[in-house]
Amino acid sequence: MRMKAIVAGVGMTRFGKHMETGLKALGAEAVAAALEDCGLKAADLEAAYVGNAMAGLITGQECVRGQVILRSIGIGRIPVINVDNACGSGSTAFQQACTMVTTGCYDVVLALGVEKLYHPDKARTFAALAGGMDVEELESALARFHADASPSAAASKDGGTDKKRSVAMDFYASVARAHMRQYGTTVEQLAGVSVKNSIHGSLNPRAQFREVMTVEQVLAAPMIDEPLTRPMCSPIGDGAAAVVLVSERKARQLGLESPVRVAASVLHSGWDHEAGALDSSTLCASEAYEEASLGPKDLGVVEVHDASAIAEIIAYESLGLCQRGGGGKLIDEGTTKLGGRLPVNTSGGLLRKGHPVGATGVAQIVELTEQLQGRCGKRQAQGARVALAHNGGGVVGREAASMCVTILVR
């Protein structure tokens, strides 16, 4: 299906630790900003898709999360669809909203992603994150992830079971070790991802962490799970991001000056396959390129799901930005930093902007829309007219449980 949805307005909160701010207040701030951005009112919305993954365990709010959040700012009556797809909740909400506009069901739709992960009891947060995997297979999965760990990493082998970190980092550490063995990727290249994103994040007033780091600092930081140090792992966070989507007809009525068109938005789930076979990320990217009649060489700016440093390097390869095994070289060459041929994660990415799970996918769209409209100040990717967002969620087998790739065009 060739998308016809237009991004009319975007807004988001600063990502960070908002212990005293609830889901309703975070969501309200993002929605208000998005509506103001496009000059529409709450009464103009015809439907809303709300991404959230963890509220049930973190805040106790189950079932009607979107309705509760939107009611607090006077939005009701319209269909509100709650979307939970792990870390891909926000991008799934966005993709579904785009589809409903494209099919002609609605002219004005809201896509909202909102999450609170900080909690006085950290064990509750890590337990919620563990729900992004098959909990009946959790122990066997952890054993598989650490089967190749070196003796020096023995202290961390109990991983997510000790409730001191997200079990997702055990998965990414295993992926990193395999990539290093097969392709020669180095810890310095992993650290280089974190350094690059720290530079970008330092220029983003909405990023959770804004200090610039060096390779030496990244490598000297506490080890989370070999070879990943703390700055190579995305932090938890609280925050919200919102996008108002309109039909082409509505865009003409509004007289939008800098319309950003959704050229493609493709969603797939992970499945069981052999290592090295076609995966969901590559499949989504190839279908998105075909749908948009574009390719990797047309891209001007990209946001990828860097839940860990290795995830960004592998995303380069899955998206066709380089050949398999060549992701680390892009870091060495400076290709993906601001000023490079193709800036990636100009927002600071999940590593520095933060990762409020349900909000992440929508926040990527906010960043890329502002990039295409030339609104990003010191972190502006010069001349970008085509942007790509890559957002995955959860883990099944060897890959993400949900994956979404979206292409935006100015």
- How is the beta sheet containing 47-51 ordered, strand by strand? 80-83, 47-51, 108-115, 239-246, 6-12, 260-269, 399-409, 386-396, 301-303
- Picking from 270, 301, 289, 294, the residue whose alpha carbon sits closest to that of residue 374 is 301
- Picking from 357, 62, 331, the residue whose alpha carbon sits closest to that of residue 196 is 331
Q: 64 φ, ψ to 5°? A: -110, 45
Cα-Cα-Cα-Cα torsion 260, 35, 200, 292, nearest 10 degrees, comes to: -20
What are the C-alpha distances in Å from 408 to residues 173, 218, 285, 385?
32, 33, 13, 8
Residue in 146, 355, 376, 390 annotated catalytic: 355
87 is catalytic: yes
By CB atoms closer than 10 A (0-12, 13-18, 19+), residue 331 is buried
Radius of gyration of the chain (CA): 20
Residues 196, 276: Cα–Cα separation, whole Å: 28
- Spatial contact of 26 and 116, defined as CB atoms under 8 Å apart: yes
Residue in 38, 87, 233, 322 annotated catalytic: 87
38 is catalytic: no
- Write out the catalytic residue numbers: 87, 355
